[in-house]
């Protein structure tokens, strides 16, 4: 509310430093509050090493059954309906299944459930899962898909990578800023060009079919990367830099 906004704006200049999630957020803080750029620190968000870690090594060949997974809210803004339509294009070409783990409400949720049921032999639905359950499920899967059009950071993608999943995801600016070039340029992530949006997270009608096609091609690329063992081995160790333990150490080094 306006009272809180006034209090924040009044007191921001008095604080000794500001922690934020991404470079983009840092730029916005500096611009909006005219705050000293040297006192704004990008630390991101962290994941829990106790739950999210690599499972047993997997060996892939052309006959391997691959499990794709999405975990999050069932809504259009998260791109789930477009994921289903992209998956529909490739589901009969490969030995694959898609797992959707999460929940939702309203017409968008009903649409997603209805579309999933048309492919019930290939699409498995899970409801809400706690941290331990989702981490265990991640380790049983192979490819994590994040078709969302907006994320503050997409911590769930980092959690999936910590479990050694390969990733297909939209070009989410905050995520790409946070993880850096080494991870962006690895074979372990296939990025999908974003469609044109309106109202922040709705796809322009004329863009829908092309976006679904791009997403389906990215799914195929990542599937074939696994079949051909064309990915960076022992990749999950790079993700430990985003654990809460490491982030807390970074904060300690800043404030002490």
Reported as a single tens digit per residue, the pLDDT across 242-256 is: 999 999 999 999 998
Predicted local distance difference test score (pLDDT) of residue 251? 94
Q: CA-CA distance, 84 to 141, in Å (whole number)?
A: 17
Q: CA-CA distance, 254 to 49, in Å (whole number)?
A: 22
- Which residues does 171 contact at the CB level (< 8 Å), separation at least 6? 191, 192, 193, 194
Is 17 in the same domain as 142? no
Predicted local distance difference test score (pLDDT) of residue 1? 64
Confirm whether 57 is domain-assigned. Answer: no
Is 245 in the same domain as 222? no
Predicted local distance difference test score (pLDDT) of residue 121? 97
Reduce the secondary structure of 195-206 to three states and give it as a string.
CCEECCCEECHH
Q: pLDDT by residue (tens digit) across 186-207? A: 889 999 999 999 998 899 999 9
Is 93 in the same domain as 30? no
Is 93 in the same domain as 169? yes
Give the predicted TM-score (pTM) of the model: 0.90
Q: pLDDT by residue (tens digit) across 170-182? A: 999 989 988 989 9
Q: CA-CA distance, 235 to 187, in Å (whole number)?
A: 10
Range of lowest pLDDT (80-84, 150-154, 208-212): 150-154
Confirm whether 59 is domain-assigned. Answer: no
Q: Residue 14's domain spans which residues?
A: 2-46+241-255
Is 22 in the same domain as 73? no
Confirm whether 198 is domain-assigned. Answer: yes
Q: pLDDT by residue (tens digit) across 27-38? A: 999 999 999 999
Give the chain's domain count: 2
Work out the pLDDT band at 72, boundaries 50, 70, 90: very high
Is 232 in the same domain as 246? no
Q: pLDDT by residue (tens digit) across 214-240? A: 999 999 999 999 999 999 887 888 899
Is 132 in the same domain as 197? yes
Confirm whether 20 is domain-assigned. Answer: yes
Is 247 in the same domain as 234? no
Secondary structure of residue 170 in the 3-state scheme: strand
Is 80 in the same domain as 109? yes
Is 25 in the same domain as 88? no
Predicted local distance difference test score (pLDDT) of residue 244? 95
Asked if 84 and 117 count as a contact pair (C-beta separation under 8 A), the reply is no
Could you identify the residue written with the tokens 């070039």?
181
């Amino acid at each position: 509310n306006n009272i809180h906004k006034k209090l924040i704006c009044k007191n921001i200049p008095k604080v000794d430093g500001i922690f934020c999630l991404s470079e983009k957020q840092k730029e916005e803080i500096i611009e909006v509050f005219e705050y000293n750029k040297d006192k704004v620190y990008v630390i991101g968000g962290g994941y829990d090493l106790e739950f999210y870690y690599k499972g047993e090594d997997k060996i892939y060949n052309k006959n391997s059954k691959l499990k794709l997974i999405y975990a999050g809210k069932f809504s259009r803004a998260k791109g789930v309906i477009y994921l289903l339509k992209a998956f529909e294009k490739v589901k009969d070409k490969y030995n694959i299944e898609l797992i959707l783990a999460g929940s939702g409400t309203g017409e968008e949720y009903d649409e997603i459930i209805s579309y999933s049921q048309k492919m019930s032999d290939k699409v498995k639905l899970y409801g809400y899962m706690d941290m331990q359950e989702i981490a265990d499920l991640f380790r049983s899967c192979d490819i994590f898909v994040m078709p969302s059009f907006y994320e503050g950071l997409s911590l769930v993608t980092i959690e999936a990578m910590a479990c050694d999943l390969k990733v297909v995801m939209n070009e989410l600016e905050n995520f790409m800023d946070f993880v850096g070039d080494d991870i962006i340029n690895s074979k372990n992530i296939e990025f999908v060009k974003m469609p044109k949006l309106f109202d922040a997270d709705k796809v322009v009608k004329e863009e829908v079919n092309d976006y679904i096609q791009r997403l389906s091609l990215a799914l195929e690329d990542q599937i074939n990367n696994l079949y051909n063992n064309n990915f960076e081995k022992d990749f999950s160790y790079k993700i430990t830099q985003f654990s809460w333990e490491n982030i807390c150490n970074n904060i300690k080094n800043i404030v002490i």
